[in-house]
Amino acid sequence: MDYLAYLLPLFQPQVLWAIALGTLGGIVIGALPGLTATMGVALLIPLTFGMPPVMGINMLIGIYIGGIYGGCISAILLRTPGTPASAATVLDGYPMARNGEAGKALGMATIASACGMLFASIVLATLAPQLAGVALKFGAPEYFALALFGLTIIASLSGDILKGAISGCLGVLISCVGADPISGVLRYTFGVSGFASGFSFTPALIGLFALSEVFTQLERLGRTEETPAKVSGRWPSYQDMRESANALVRGSLIGTIIGVIPGTGSGTASWISYNEARRTSKTPERFGTGYAPGIAATESANSAVCAGALIPLLALGIPGDVVTAVLMGGLMIQGLAPGPMLFETRPDIIVGIFGGTFLATIFMFVFGMMLIPIASKILLVPRRILTMSIVVFCFIGSFAINLNPVDLYTMVGFGILGWGMQKYGFSQAALCIALILGPLAEANLRRGLLQTGDDLVAFVSGPITLLFLGLTVISLALPYLQARRAKRAAA
């Protein structure tokens, strides 16, 4: 009964206001390229100083949840991922918007985000202490095996295996720029101090997906005057929902698990989920052409990561990603150090946070659905004006992240690269996956070998490592085996 009493403070009008405002602000922040959920939370922490803990923390969680969701808006409408988490949403979201189904794509994304969040919040509220143990099982070899498994997505995502492999290798090479994770030596910076941390991730993605599309549009502009796309509707059809159900469930599950593992993040979750949805679909060829389940898979996964990442934070005092690290600061400033003890000493706070994630999810869903017709009006802007505005957004967004002019070169460079890749059939998605997972694989391979004294057998001996390495082999071999069986059956 105590628990219900702990939930009551959440329903005071000013607390509800704070959560609603945080969520709405988060959505706007997430939708604007260059402003991330992390920055939103960090900038608003001082505002929460004077608030009671449950109110302040839940406002921050609202920003977090809204911010991760908001990223899909610009990804779908403008092919500009507002957050790294939504890069995978571009694949099906943008084609849907181009086909005149922008409203439906956003509706699907909103429903999927809410599903993922709800699922992960329930897991958070019921299993947090038990699941938190999983977070601690991951040492360097386990992270490496997970990253390697993730990298096999490249093989199945790119139609042309050779071109996919080239894109993937290029991505891994590009991710080598910057400080070496083990020795600290600067690699391939050519003496430019701005590259000391490597290419900044968000500017690179903005260039890769958004600026490259601008170039492609420019090529077409002179030739044809397009009619503005239709933007009607916001609810996916029954047919869409039925086809997406599988993707939603898998995405929520994958997102929650990846969220629990510290340091992997929502980008990884969305790609793995997208690949799983495609692999298990009856019509894999429709993915990438504007297929609703593609959005369902990525958005459910990256939202589930939010609540999933709260599990190690609250249960162990270990932040899984940058945003939760910032949230931890917000908690500590209230005099509440997260960790196993917090469950015993301040159950009111823990229950308040659980309740807050549910409320923020509901607000996210309502605001998201309300904003769809307003946001998708942007597509009514004549194509040539819109295209030029996107260029402006690309530059402002890339600069706003770190205030580092070098990021602008990164963005333009990746824009040209992405345009060339698109033109000659190389997968931008493969490059993006390699950029996310390459550094995770490298750092953990080398850290693990350092710890085992370069003993490969000791390195791969853990059960979780073997599990993921096994999955890697299966996911690489399965298409071949299936093709052979099909051939034999035909013969």
Partner 1 sequence: MNKHIIMTAALIGALTATAAYAYPDRPIQIVVPYSAGGGTDLSMRLLAESMQRHIPGATVIVRNQPGGGGAIGTSAIIHARADGYTVGAGAQGPLALLPHLGSADYTLDDVEFIGLVGRNLQVMIACKDAPFTDFDSFMAYAKEKAPQIGNSGAGGANHISTEAFAKAAGIKVESVPFGGSSEAMTACAGGHIQAMVASPAEALEQVKAGTVKPLFVEEEGRIDLFPDTPSAKEKGVDFTWSSWKGIIAPKGIPEADLHILRDGLKAAVADEEFQKKMNDLGEFVQYEDADAYKARARHDSVTAEAVIKDLGMYQMNK
Closer to partner 1 at the Cβ: 284 or 405? Answer: 405
Which of these segments, 18-26, 84-92, 173-181, 349-357, binds partner 1 (CB under 8 A)? 173-181
Residues 185, 374, 392, 491: which binds partner 1 (CB under 8 A)?
185
Token pair of 365 as six digits: 């869903």
Q: Does 139 bind partner 1 (CB under 8 A)?
A: yes
Q: How far is CA 445 from CA 355, 434, 453, in A?
A: 39, 15, 12
Which residues, 6 or more positions from 480, have their beta carbon under 8 angstroms from its beta carbon? none
**Minimal distance in Å, beta carbon 339 to partner 1?**
3
Note whether 475 and 156 are within 8 A (CB).
Answer: yes
Q: Which residue's entry shows tokens 């360097």?
A: 140
Q: Does 403 bind partner 1 (CB under 8 A)?
A: yes
Using CB under 8 A, pick the residue from 8, 161, 182, 473 that binds partner 1: 182
Identified binder of partner 1 from the candidate list 67, 262, 265, 356, rule CB under 8 A: 262
The residue count for binding partner 1 (CB under 8 A) is 56
Stretch touching partner 1 by CB under 8 A, among 20-28, 91-99, 196-204, 281-289: 196-204
- Nearest residue (CB) to partner 1, 82 versus 233: 82
Does residue 187 sit in helix, strand or coil? Answer: strand
**Closest distance between partner 1 and the C-beta of residue 462, in Å?**
10
Query: Is residue 52 within the footprint of partner 1 (CB under 8 A)?
Result: no
Phi, psi angle pair for 178, to nearest 5°: 110, -170
Q: What is the dihedral of CA 20, 202, 87, 98, to 10 degrees?
A: 90
Both structure tokens of 113: 């985000």
Using rule CB under 8 A, residue 450 touches partner 1: yes
If you compute the radius of gyration of the chain from its CA atoms, what whole number of angstroms results? 22
- Give the distance, in angstroms, between the CA of residue 468 and the centroid of all CA atoms in the same chain: 21
Nearest to 72 by CA among 401, 295, 381, 374: 295
Q: Does 197 bind partner 1 (CB under 8 A)?
A: yes
Site membership for partner 1, residue 318 (CB under 8 A): yes
Q: Provide the minimum distance between the beta carbon of 4 and partner 1 in the complex, in angstroms, as a whole number.
A: 28
- Tokens representing 29 are 């922040």
- CB nearer to partner 1: give 7 or 85: 85
22 binds partner 1 (CB under 8 A): no
**DSSP calls for 340-375:** HHHHHH-HHHHHHHHHHHHHHHHHHHHHHHHHHHHH
- Pick 129 or 228: Cβ nearer partner 1: 129
Q: Which of 334, 333, 341, 335 minimizes the C-alpha distance to 317?
A: 341
Q: For partner 1, which residue of 99, 404, 422, 475 counts as binding (CB under 8 A)?
A: 404
8 A C-beta contact, residue 226 and residue 96 = no
186 membership: H or E segment, kind and range: strand 186-187
Give the HSE-up count for residue 359: Cα atoms under 13 Å, Cβ half-sphere: 30
Residue 475 engages partner 1 in binding (rule: CB under 8 A): no
List the x/- string, 322-361, binding to partner 1 by CB under 8 A: xx-xx--x--xxxx-xxxxxx-------------------
Q: Which of 436, 409, 404 is nearest to 87 (CA)?
A: 436
Q: If binding is defined by CB under 8 A, does position 186 make contact with partner 1?
A: yes
Query: Shortest gap between Cβ of 335 and partner 1 (angstroms)?
Result: 5
Q: How far is the CB of 325 from partner 1 (least distance, A)?
A: 6
Nearer to partner 1, 235 or 399 (CB): 399
Backbone φ, ψ for residue 370 (5° rounding): -70, -35
Nearer to partner 1, 186 or 421 (CB): 186
Q: Residues interacting with partner 1, by CB under 8 A?
A: 38-39, 41-43, 45-46, 49, 135-140, 179-186, 193-194, 196-197, 200, 262-263, 312, 316-319, 322-323, 325-326, 329, 332-335, 337-342, 402-404, 443, 447, 450-451
